[in-house]
Chain A
Amino acid sequence: MTESKSIQETVQDVISTLKEKPGALLPILHGIQDALGYIPADSVPAIAQGLHLSRAEVHGVISFYHYFRETPPGKQTIHICRAESCQAMGGKQLEQHAKDQLGIDYHETTPDGQFSLEPVYCLGNCACSPAIQIGNDIYGRVSLQSFDAIINEKKEQA
């Protein structure tokens, strides 16, 4: 229960800090996701109330944007670029390899809660394709071997 209370407090803090900005909804959603890793369903009524919107409008915005998520992610989210430049450099094999190694598909989390896997359409790292991103860390010219090394390194950090 204490955890749930702290989530609500976090949400309220973000709302009250940002709600006066013009077009405040996206900044608020980013603020909540930055703090909690996702946007809990039970934060929607508070956001709606804070911005004088309906809950449906808030839910509609959350569901429109690929980046916002309503379920907690794994400790680390691996974004794999699916776009053309990465495809031209073996991106499809890398995608398949990542899914096989982690044992999950896109939008899923490993059973140990360590990694979530998400597709991304371009990281702007097209001159160093194929590319992946984990948190703020971006990796270029990723081979199947270097993918494994990155994952192992991330596991050790955890």
Chain B
Amino acid sequence: MSISVYVPCDSSALSLGADRIAAAISLEAQQRGIAINLIRNGSRGLYWLEPLVEVVTDAGRIAYGPVQVTDVSALFDADFLHGGDHHLALGSIEELDFFKKQQRLTFARIGKTDPISLDDYLANDGYRGLSNALKQSQTDIVKAVTDSGLRGRGGAAFPTGIKWNTVLNTPSEQKYIICNADEGDSGTFSDRMVMEGDPFVLIEGMTIAGIAVGANQGYIYLRVEYPHAHIALNAAIEKAYAAGYLGDDIQGSGKAFHLEVRLGAGAYVCGEETSLMESLEGKRGLVRFKPPLPAISGLFGQPTVVNNVISLASVPIILDKGGDYYRDFGMGRSRGTLPLQLAGNIKHPGLFEFAFGLTLRELLYDFGGGSATGRPIKAVQVGGPLGAYLPESQFDTPLDYEAFAANWTVLGHGGVVVFDDTADMASLARYNMEFCATESCGKCTPCRIGSTRGIEVMDEIINGQEISKNIPLLRDLCNTLLNGSLCALGGMTPYPVLSALNHFPEDFGVTDTNNAA
């Protein structure tokens, strides 16, 4: 019997040479006359160990990593196909503390299965949520999601069940489900991992959403920067149609749900839900005024659910195991789990799914292992390019929406970017203004013009010009952006800028601390 060998097809693993390693393993096996069954799985998310190769042995799945092409021959010599000893041997991934201590609900299958194998999906609890949903009334499905306490994982943390309930109760011939897969925040990649590593879970979540609210058409609005996710989603959608999990009669229920992937075109602002809908309608991605809410008048003027990838991918397990099961994880009003993404200057970057409540310090040091460079961690940006920088004094903040909001920081989509003590916070603040200027849709004045003025003020500050005049000017400008912008792009750019200034005034040339307050 041939031996199963797993080499990830996740794009971060590919970025480290996973394709070359897969090819080298195939070739070496062929030359040695050994039959192997090479499977391309998603990533386990322990990226410092990628490319990670796993072999199915009598003693379970044994991992080796990080593997380079030059290691392949030696791995065969060490009989890795039977779990042989080698300096890259890691034992079972699921027994490593990094993995074992996580609570993997949404990411239960990722890294374990072949992402585009429907059989693998079904054999690992796939489509159990949909099967339950098809036996329930629409109201009961929405109630399960409401009871779970699930809040929008895209960053705004709005209760998913309430959104669904509005769409359910808005009468219309045509309703839509949109998956916001425009994951543009720096330091975030959990959406990408789901789409590349377990696309069926997203398809299942969207199908349940469609049945729950009475929508028969779904769109996944995917950023163009994710070509591998595009391929995986399309392959999985094709299989779901062929097996009757999408189409006009889902599993003989008489209910219809159709799904299509649409590509964005490099505009960060299209991650904002109204801008996203404009883009789907074939227009410039200008932010809309709210109200009307998308749940009442959304895509093409119809009631529309817009949810993030992780929100929708969390729905199948809620319908499978019940709202209570999910709600029992977490703290306060943050229920369930959050897939945290640890990135930047960190020794152990990767995906860590935990119930809400872990502290940032535990994440950074117990799991992250400190900075990659070995230097002290100076600041951590949580929640993407519109999230605040946290200094060391805030590292004990628990990862919880409300605890972060109380610090004037943002948990957002769970992206955590680490900087060591060589980071220049003034230069980062300038970058945040520049990013806002580059990505502004141009509809509202504070964001369109304020961001450009912000770059100019930051340039003067960085050049040491008239600090005592420019610091108040920068604060005043941030105040205008914060209160006068139409959406979060202009409205939250002050978070990174002002947090950098408040916590690291010395990087802005401010010597008198009174000046910074």
Q: A residues touching B (Cβ–Cβ < 8 Å)?
A: 22-27, 29-30, 51, 57, 60-61, 64-68, 79, 82-89, 120-129, 131, 133, 136-141
Residues in chain A near residue B11, CB distance under 8 A: 124-125, 138
A26 touches B279 (CB 8 A): yes
A88 touches B345 (CB 8 A): yes
A30 touches B263 (CB 8 A): yes
Q: B residues touching A (Cβ–Cβ < 8 Å)?
A: 11-12, 14-16, 47, 50, 183-189, 191-192, 224-228, 262-268, 279-285, 300, 341-345, 349-351, 372, 381, 385, 415, 417-420, 423, 428, 431, 435, 438-439, 441
A89 touches B344 (CB 8 A): yes
A84 touches B417 (CB 8 A): yes
Residues in chain B near residue A137, CB distance under 8 A: 14
Instruction: Using A61-B282, A83-B186, A89-B344 as known contacts, say yes or no to A121 and B192 having CB atoms under 8 A apart.
Output: no
B344 touches A121 (CB 8 A): no
A125 touches B282 (CB 8 A): no
Can you name 28 A-B pairs with beta carbons within 8 Å? A23-B282, A23-B300, A24-B282, A26-B265, A64-B267, A65-B267, A65-B285, A66-B438, A82-B431, A84-B186, A84-B385, A88-B420, A121-B184, A121-B186, A121-B268, A121-B435, A122-B186, A122-B188, A122-B225, A124-B188, A125-B12, A126-B349, A127-B342, A128-B12, A128-B47, A128-B50, A136-B227, A136-B228
B284 touches A127 (CB 8 A): no
Residues in chain B near residue A122, CB distance under 8 A: 183-188, 225
* CB contact between B16 and one of A61, A84, A140 (< 8 Å): that residue: A140
Which residue on B lies nearest to A63, using beta carbons?
B284
A124 and B11 alpha carbons, distance in the complex (Å): 9
Which residue on A lies nearest to B14, using beta carbons?
A138
Not counting A26-B265, A84-B428, A88-B419, a sample of 10 additional A-B residue pairs whose C-beta atoms are within 8 angstroms of each other reads A26-B279, A57-B283, A67-B266, A83-B385, A84-B417, A124-B226, A126-B417, A127-B12, A128-B12, A138-B15
A26 touches B15 (CB 8 A): no
B343 touches A127 (CB 8 A): yes
Number of CB contacts from chain A to chain B under 8 A: 156
User: Could you say which of B186, B263, B300 has the most chain A C-beta atoms within 10 Å of its C-beta?
Assistant: B186
* CB contact between A126 and one of B186, B225, B428 (< 8 Å): that residue: B186
A26 and B185 alpha carbons, distance in the complex (Å): 22
Residues in chain B near residue A23, CB distance under 8 A: 262, 280-282, 300
A88 and B345 alpha carbons, distance in the complex (Å): 6
Query: B126 to nearest A CB, angstroms?
Result: 24
A128 touches B349 (CB 8 A): yes
A120 touches B262 (CB 8 A): no
Residues in chain B near residue A67, CB distance under 8 A: 224, 264-267
Instruction: Using A26-B279, A84-B428, A88-B345 as known contacts, say yes or no to A64 and B185 having CB atoms under 8 A apart.
Output: no
Query: A24 to nearest B CB, angstroms?
Result: 6
A79 and B448 alpha carbons, distance in the complex (Å): 25
A131 touches B266 (CB 8 A): no
Residues in chain A near residue B343, CB distance under 8 A: 85, 88, 126-127, 129
Instruction: Using A51-B282, A89-B372 as known contacts, say yes or no to A128 and B184 having CB atoms under 8 A apart.
Output: no
Query: B344 to nearest A CB, angstroms?
Result: 4
Query: Which 5 residue pairs of A and B lie closest in terms of their CB atoms, listed nearest first?
Result: A25-B282, A83-B186, A140-B15, A67-B266, A126-B343
Query: B155 to nearest A CB, angstroms?
Result: 14
Which residue on B lies nearest to A123, using beta carbons?
B225
Query: A135 to nearest B CB, angstroms?
Result: 8
A76 and B14 alpha carbons, distance in the complex (Å): 19
B186 touches A61 (CB 8 A): no
Instruction: Using A84-B428, A122-B184 as known contacts, say yes or no to A128 and B15 having CB atoms under 8 A apart.
Output: yes
Residues in chain B near residue A30, CB distance under 8 A: 224, 263, 265
Residues in chain A near residue B191, CB distance under 8 A: 124
Query: A36 to nearest B CB, angstroms?
Result: 15
Residues in chain A near residue B265, CB distance under 8 A: 26, 29-30, 65-68
A84 touches B381 (CB 8 A): yes
